[in-house]
A and B are shown apart, each in its own frame.
Chain A
Amino acid sequence: MELFLQQTANALALGGTYALLALGLAVVFSIMGLINFAHGELMTIAGYVLMYCGIASVPFVIAVPLAITASVLAAVAMERIAFRPVRNGSGATMLVTSFAVAMILQVLFQNLISARSQPVLLPALLSDSVRVFGLVIGVNKLAAIASTIVMLVFLDWFMKHQKTGVAMRAAAEDFAVARLMGIRANTVIAGAFALSGLLAGVAAVLWVSQRASVDPLMGFMPVLKAFIAAILGGLGSLRGAVAGGFLLGFIEIYLAAFLPPEMQEFRDPIGLGIVVLVLLIRPNGLIPSATLKAEKV
């Protein structure tokens, strides 16, 4: 039982990080139909900011907002430079553009920083653990769970009560009519990228806090997982992205913890098998977007 609860805390921490990343993908996708695979590189950028701050002995409490800000600015710049010119292109055109952006950034990291993994100096506190309800939980896990909750509450408030957030939901549903109301396309799209950058930045801090290292390809795996989570939840649906992120976190952690040792090497295929099974039962994902439906018979 204790092991189970322990693993549940781990699953919440990992699932929360996936949820934040999947949300970032979903916010942009819901508005412009782009799956931004360069989302992971936003994480990497934030990771490198944390690394340089560590080297320059900048306190962690300052390094974190700097890293998140860098990710937001990079996201907005990415939209302005790379995605605005192809905004009216097909989904495939935008997807290929996002791969190109990801690869260019990876090559830049490899050549300007280092091709190898770099250590990130973290406060000792993060590797401590505390007792909560009789469980021993890492401070970094607790911080991940708490940050996820704060971000989800913030995002929910923003999308429901802030004029810009409501406008983003309106634009996601019917962009043309939203523009008729005087909602500027550029504002909404730049806003979506800024939000996705914020989410990627927070996710990066959580990710790096578990690993204490950063490398040029760091963003690829988590963003691939987030993509799976977004599909699992229902592509384009924000609630779905959160649900999918948590479910994927739970699947991965429980399989790692409870699958018999001789089956551990099949962990990933089994995990993906479960995802496919869920999608067979719910083809549009756990919480489908109201405006996007898979229309195949």
Chain B
Amino acid sequence: MAPLLSAQGLQVRYGAVEAVRGVSFEIQQGEIVALLGANGAGKSSILNAIVGLVPTASGQVMFDGKDITGAAPEGLAPSGLTLSPEGRRVFGTLSVSDNLRMGAFGLTDKDEIAEAWERVYDLFPILKERKDQYAGTLSGGQQQMLAVGRALMSNPRLLLLDEPSLGLAPLIMDQIFELIAKLRDQGVTLLVVEQNVAKTLQVADRGYILVSGEIVEAGKTSELTQSSSMQDAYLGAN
């Protein structure tokens, strides 16, 4: 079966810095794929390049059989691909419900929009309770839920999550990983970037290990757990 998303020789540059040095990977429909690597390995750069937030220096990205290399970000959410960016980046001066409403900006079907609200409020009851509050006044964990909820409002088929558990208390962190598993059951395919390697390997099916902008190992999570490049990736050795 053709993968839902595939990258071939993807390269990202910031001036003289080569952050991503020609990586290739693919994600099948229904999978949870983890992208692991130390700080500065280039994980966010890959996700941002996929959605067009940073320019792709070379390589090709295909989503659902279409070439989306260098596509403008605004076209992707309506076609079923979205990113919950690193650092939450909720709209702090908008209410919680307006944040969610913006997440569904590209949807036009009334029923689909209604279902999206129901699903998000179902997953995160706290967001419904706080719907009229400014997003900037939510706690860090609540903001993270809002960021994920906002991304879900576009009914994505592929959701890219950039460090969804960053800075969260252990209990909330567990909720985020439960959520990841739950989303897959609902038919969402996920690409997850995480610092919490142990937990990520528990929920993911496959993983890629990134060191200094290159993929050094790929495989089923059960295999990766034992791999030595896993240790190296996080100790920063290469």
Contacts and interface: CB of A to CB of B under 8 A. Distances in A.
B94 A180 contact: no
Interface residues of B, number: 27
A170 interface: yes
Contact of A170 (B76, B82, B102): B102
Interface in A155-199: 163, 166-167, 169-170, 173-174, 176-185
A174 B91 contact: yes
A176 B78 CA distance: 16
Between A169, A173, A180, the greatest number of chain B beta carbons within 10 A of the residue's beta carbon is seen for: A180
Given A163-B101, A166-B98, A167-B105, A180 B91 contact: no
A174 B93 CA distance: 11
B22 interface: no
Given A170-B91, A176-B53, A290 B74 contact: no
Contact of B74 (A163, A169, A174, A183): A183
Interface residues on A, range: 10 to 19
Interface in B69-91: 72-78, 82-83, 85, 89, 91
Contacts of B150: 181
B140 interface: no
B125 interface: no
Tell me whether chain A's interface is mostly helix, strand or loop, or mixed. Answer: helix
A201 to B, nearest CB: 27
Nearest to A182: B106
Contact of B92 (A173, A176, A183, A184): A173
Between A163, A177, A290, A291, the greatest number of chain B beta carbons within 10 A of the residue's beta carbon is seen for: A177
Contact of B154 (A170, A182, A290): A182
B213 interface: no
Interface string B97-127: 0110111011000000000000000000000
